[in-house]
Amino acid sequence: MKRRVVVTGMGVISPVGNEVSTFWGSLVAGKSGVGKITRFDASEYPCQIAAEVKDFNPEDYIDKKEARRMDRFAQYAVAAARMAMEDSKLEITEENDERVGVYVGSGIGGLETLMEQYRILLEKGPRRVSPFFIPMMIGDIATGQISIFLGAKGPNSSPISACATGTNAIGDAYKIIERGAADVMITGGAEATILPLAVAGFSSAKALATSFNDAPEKASRPFDRDRDGFVMGEGAGILVLEELEHAKKRGAKIYAEIIGYGMSGDAYHITQPAPEGAGAARAMRAAVHDAGIQPQEIDYINAHGTSTDFNDKFETLAIKNVFGEHAYKLAVSSTKSVTGHLLGAAGGVEAIACVKALQDQILPPTINQENPDPECDLDYVPNEARRAKVDVVMSNSFGFGGHNASIILRKYEG
């Protein structure tokens, strides 16, 4: 029999709160985390807005010396992981450390470190490049740092699948526990790329919102007719996944159960999703099959919902393809309307939003739903949170390169 897997801890660093209760409160209130970019002078950029993490002090979680040797994305990851482990009340000891693993991804990794060290190379020469440059920059280092800080010696790896990274990490970690290779996995995603090069690159690709520089809180508007691109966010979302009997034996608080995981490849285009969301539909269908449920059992979907033209239209079509008439009965919302798009961290923070929706029986809204797009005609929980009976939820993440990932969580009934 497949081993059952539950969520026993959560930690988040986000544009709308640096712990779970504040983050969730902002989502429910529809309080946007988007504002003018403050990290650098963006006045000459087509997109001048982003969803920055605020009031984050790495020294609240990491020794000052160690923090200086970590890129910001890894700082976010370690902070959220420590939060999640404290929430889980699981102690890692010599008796269990080989059964506790880490599986945390980043879509881009240490771009800030790369930019800074390249500047040093040009201005001061090769001998002045930091010896910590490589281990600060590489995308897997968040996983490495978390395992070092917490002493987790079990399965240890790091997926990279662009904006699907966080969901792939959680799904893969779920499968590691399910097949018996670990009892506990610390998993999710982290990203910190609100930087000149990243904003310039995404702007050149025509991916970012540019029409709302003077009204940042209105810029992220998934499924709305006036959407014109995503808003870059940053942060980390980390969950502690645990084998059910292991969690029960130690009296852990169980937030939800993860029951399904599906993924697929578009095999179509480096940035544009496959027509009619065919790849997304395959991932959702695979997750439903893995969960062993019927599509009509899904009550809510936390959509990828980036606020870009093709993504929102094709995700809507994919949902209709998978769920048929039930697509018009379930609720779909995009919390990116509040947080912006956290890229490789999106799946982690959105999985936490799904767990909280199950726990509190509240659906977070899609804000900025002002002018409905005729091609996006589902129930997107417009503008205001809604109380609802929620037993089974799905979270979608789709990334550049044609990566699609979906996970399904269920309300845990002891």
pLDDT digits (tens, 9 = 90+) for 15-72: 999 999 999 999 999 999 999 999 999 999 999 999 999 999 999 999 999 999 999 9
Active site residue 403: no
Q: Which residues contact 413 (CB under 8 A, 6 or more apart)?
A: none
Domains, the chain, in order of start with CATH, read: 5-249 (3.40.47.10), 261-408 (3.40.47.10)
Cα angle 386, 388, 394; round to 5: 95
Active site residue 354: no
What stretches in the chain show pLDDT beneath 50? none
β-sheet bridge partners, residue 372: 224
Are the beta carbons of 334 and 368 closer than 8 angstroms? no
Active site residue 326: no
pLDDT in tens, 175-226: 999 999 999 999 999 999 999 999 999 999 999 999 999 999 999 999 999 9
Nearest-angstrom CA–CA distance, 238 and 13: 9
Angle subtended by helix axes 165-178 and 346-360, to nearest 10: 70
The whole-model pTM stands at 0.97
Nearest-angstrom CA–CA distance, 235 and 63: 19
Secondary structure class of 404 (helix, strand, coil): strand
Predicted local distance difference test score (pLDDT) of residue 1: 75
Nearest-angstrom CA–CA distance, 345 and 339: 11
Which of 163, 246, 354, 403 is catalytic? The answer is 163
Find how far residue 13's CA is from the centre of its chain: 11
Predicted local distance difference test score (pLDDT) of residue 231: 98
HSE at residue 250, side-chain half, CA atoms within 13 A, is: 17
Q: Which helix (H) or strand (E) holds 363?
A: strand 362-363
Which of 304, 354, 376, 403 is catalytic? The answer is 304
Query: What tokens does 130 get?
Result: 């930091």
Beta-strand pair 156-157/100-105: parallel
Helix segments in 89-223, DSSP class H: 111-124, 133-137, 141-150, 165-178, 196-204
Cα four-point dihedral sign 209, 380, 263, 160: positive
Predicted local distance difference test score (pLDDT) of residue 86: 98
Place of tokens 């969520």: 7
Nearest-angstrom CA–CA distance, 108 and 119: 19
